[in-house]
A and B are shown apart, each in its own frame.
Chain A
């Protein structure tokens, strides 16, 4: 049973700070990971995907993957109140399906 684990939070950060969201996974063979943002009552929307060890940056977002430690993270720089949402970590497994964690609630306080 492949598992993706996330701290449910809530994670509270002040506006302008860096928010750090973390995720661990159980399957050493997993290759591809996704971060989705989900506002309350809305559908998940993709922020970033990563499949190589190291960092991947896109605007204020940086995804980090460490396959040896089976660890994925998402950093949000200059956090804004509009970033307040649930952040879902997911891995792509065989059959092209996504296995999601339970999500971390992020609250950015102005």
Chain B
């Protein structure tokens, strides 16, 4: 698999449940990003990792959202006590480095529906 992969592709949760979304970036990519895309909107930044360090989490909507990348590769986005407004597509992207010329490659996304 040469691209970014995400699992699960679809997740239905009851309000109040915890969910965990996984992202496998392209091998060797230093940077990893999580975005949230609501229906009919562009992706919105959630958080950014450079290797295992979480350098920016300014986009996380509340303290119910938590992300980690403990070994600098796979990342998990966890949402606790899900709410209906959390329903969206969660996109993961990775890039080889930082700055200009480092294209962000997006995974297929996880569509989360909170009932």
Do A and B assemble together?
Answer: yes
User: A residues bordering B, Cβ < 8 Å?
Assistant: 4, 8, 31-32, 42-46, 49, 51, 88, 90, 92, 95-103
Report whether B99 and A102 are in contact in the complex, using a CB–CB cutoff of 8 Å.
no
Give the CA-CA distance A103 to B44 in the complex, in Å.
12
- The count of A-to-B residue pairs whose CB atoms sit within 8 angstroms is 56
Report whether B106 and A45 are in contact in the complex, using a CB–CB cutoff of 8 Å.
yes
Question: Cβ of B65 < 8 Å from any Cβ of A?
Answer: no
Contacts of B18 in A (CB 8 A): none
Give the CA-CA distance A88 to B33 in the complex, in Å.
17
Give the CA-CA distance A93 to B102 in the complex, in Å.
13
Give the CA-CA distance A31 to B100 in the complex, in Å.
10
Give the CA-CA distance A46 to B43 in the complex, in Å.
14
Report whether B104 and A98 are in contact in the complex, using a CB–CB cutoff of 8 Å.
yes
Partner of B106, one of A44, A49, A97: A44
A-facing residues in B85-115 (Cβ within 8 Å) = 91, 95, 98-100, 102-109
Report whether B104 and A32 are in contact in the complex, using a CB–CB cutoff of 8 Å.
no
Give the CA-CA distance A90 to B107 in the complex, in Å.
17
Beyond A4-B42, A46-B104, 14 additional pairs, beta carbon < 8 A: A32-B100, A43-B107, A43-B108, A43-B109, A51-B100, A88-B43, A90-B42, A96-B48, A97-B33, A97-B56, A98-B35, A98-B45, A102-B42, A103-B42
- Decide: A102 near B43, CB < 8 A? Known: A32-B100, A43-B106, A95-B56: no
Give the CA-CA distance A13 to B45 in the complex, in Å.
31
Report whether A97 and B48 are in contact in the complex, using a CB–CB cutoff of 8 Å.
yes
Give the CA-CA distance A50 to B42 in the complex, in Å.
19
Report whether B45 and A99 are in contact in the complex, using a CB–CB cutoff of 8 Å.
yes
Question: Cβ of B62 < 8 Å from any Cβ of A?
Answer: no
Report whether B103 and A46 are in contact in the complex, using a CB–CB cutoff of 8 Å.
yes
Report whether B41 and A42 are in contact in the complex, using a CB–CB cutoff of 8 Å.
no
The smallest beta-carbon distance between B70 and chain A, in angstroms, is 21
